[in-house]
Amino acid sequence: RIVYVNGAYVPEEEATVSVFDRGFLFADAVYEVTAVLDGKIVDYPGHVARLERSLGELQMGMPFSSDDLLEVHRELVRRNSMDEGAIYLQVTRGAADRDFAFPKHAEQTVVLFTQAKPLTGAKKGIRVISLPDMRWGRRDIKTVQLLAPSMAKMAAKAEGKDDAWLVQNGFVTEGTSNNAYIVTREGKIVTRNLSSSILHGITRAAVLKLAAERGMEVEERPFTIEEAQQAAEAFVTAATTFVCPVIEIDGVAISGGKPGPVAERLNELYIETGR
Ligand code: PDD
C-alpha cells in the first residue's frame, strides 16, 4: 500500500512519524474517514468542512487547502487502484518536546492512507449493547482519542455482540463510531439533536436530507434505550457503514430481529446518490 505522509507518497513500510509527535503523546490530533465508491470520494465537502472545524476548535488551521487535500485523496485512490473502501486522514499539531502547553512552533503532521473493503454488500444488521458514555465532553470534535469507544466495542464483542450504544443521563448519545437512530411505530425517524454530546456525522446530514426530500418525518431529539427497544426499527450511520440496521438492543430483538425496510431503503438511496 502507498500511504501519504507529510508531502510524500511512500510504501507503508517506509512511512514514519516522530516519537515526539503530539498526536502520539497527547492525542493532539483530529481525523476524518471518507468513503470511496467506484473510485470516487463520497461527501468530500462535508468531511473537509468538519476537518476545518475540528482543527479550529483545537486552535489549529488547515495544513493546506481543501482542493490540495482532495487531490491527495484522489492520488491515493489512483496509486492504490482502489475502487471501494475508505480513506483515513489525520492531522496532528506536530512534533515538539513533551509539554502540556501547545508548542509555539510546530509543523503539522499529515497522514493519509487507504483501506480497501467492500461497503455496498447486503447487510444482515448488528446487535448492540448499551454502555455508559465515558468519553470527554467535546465529541463534536473528531479527535483521535478513541480509547473509550474502543473499550466499549471490545465489551460488546466480549458479549458476542457487534457494537455498543453509549448512554449519558439516561439517553443514547451515539454508537462507538456511528450515529444512532430509531424509527417509531408511526414511521418517524428519530435521532439525537446536534450538540457537543455527539459527532456531527456527515452521513447523518446526508441521510436526514434524503429522508426529508422523500417526505419522511424526522425528529431530532434524544431517546432512551427503552424507547429504542419498543421502536419499529433502529439503525446507525457512518461513512464506512452507510445506513446499517440494528436488529437487537440489550438482548431485545428489533423489527423481528432482521433489517427493517426504512434502514434498507435509506441505505440504497445513500449509495445511489454517492455513486
Ligand atoms: N467514525 N459518531 C462517531 C463517534 C464516529 O466516530 C463517527 C464516524 C460517526 C459518524 O460520522 P460520519 O457519518 O461522518 O462518518 C458518528 C468513523 C467512520 C471512524 O471512526 O472510523
CATH number of the domain that residue 57 is part of: 3.30.470.10
Question: For residue 274, what pLDDT band results from cuts at 50, 70 and 90?
Answer: confident
CA distance 175 to 187: 22
Q: CB–CB of 239/202 below 8 Å?
A: yes
Asked if 137 and 173 touch (Cβ cutoff 8 Å), the reply is no
173 and 142 together in one domain: yes
Q: Does residue 32 line the site of ligand 1, with CB under 6 A?
A: no
CA–centroid distance, 12 to ligand 1, in Å, is: 24
Range of the domain at 60: 2-116
Residues 252 and 193: their CA atoms lie apart, in Å, by 25
Structural domain contains residue 121: no
The number of beta carbons lying within 10 Å of the beta carbon of residue 73 is 21
What is the rounded average pLDDT of the residues 253-270?
A: 97
What's the CA-to-centroid distance between 7 and ligand 1, angstroms? 26
The answer on 209 and 76 residing in a single domain is: no
Beta bridge partners of 129: 164
Give residue 54 CA to ligand 1 midpoint distance, Å.
13
Q: Which one, of 204, 224, 219, lies nearest residue 266 by Cα?
A: 204
Q: Residue 1 above 90 pLDDT?
A: yes
CA angle 263, 266, 267 (to 5 degrees): 85
Please tell me the predicted confidence (pLDDT) of residue 7.
97
Nearest CA to ligand 1 atom 2: 178
Evaluate: CB of 178 within 6 angstroms of ligand 1: yes
Is 156 a domain residue?
yes
Could you tell me if 104 and 164 lie in one domain? no
Q: For residue 13, how far is its CA from the centre of ligand 1 (angstroms)?
A: 27
Question: How many domains does the structure of the chain reveal?
Answer: 2
Residue 97 domain-assigned? Answer: yes
Same domain, 24 and 98: yes
* Beta strand ranges found along the chain (DSSP E): 2-5, 8-11, 29-37, 40-41, 85-92, 109-116, 126-132, 163-168, 171-175, 179-183, 189-191, 218-220, 233-238, 242-249, 252-253
**Does 147 reside within a domain?**
yes
Residue 219's CATH number: 3.20.10.10
Looking at the structure, do residues 75 and 166 belong to the same domain, yes or no? no
Residue 16: CB atoms within 10 A of its CB come to 10
Q: What pLDDT is stored for residue 38 in this prediction?
A: 96
- Among 116, 150, 182, residue at a domain's last position: 116
Average pLDDT of every residue of the chain: 97
pTM exceeding 0.90: yes
Q: Which three cell numbers stand for residue 250?
A: 440489550
Looking at 116, 143, 176, which one is the last position of a domain?
A: 116
If phi over 0 gives left and psi between -120 and 50 gives alpha, with beta otherwise, what is residue 43? left
Whether the per-residue pLDDT at 121 is higher than 90: the answer is no
Which is the closest atom of ligand 1 to the Cα of 203?
A: 13
Answer with the one of 116, 149, 183 that is the final residue of a domain.
116
Task: State whether the beta carbon of 54 lies less than 6 angstroms from ligand 1.
Answer: no
Q: Are residues 79 and 141 in the same domain?
A: no
Residues with a known catalytic role: 142
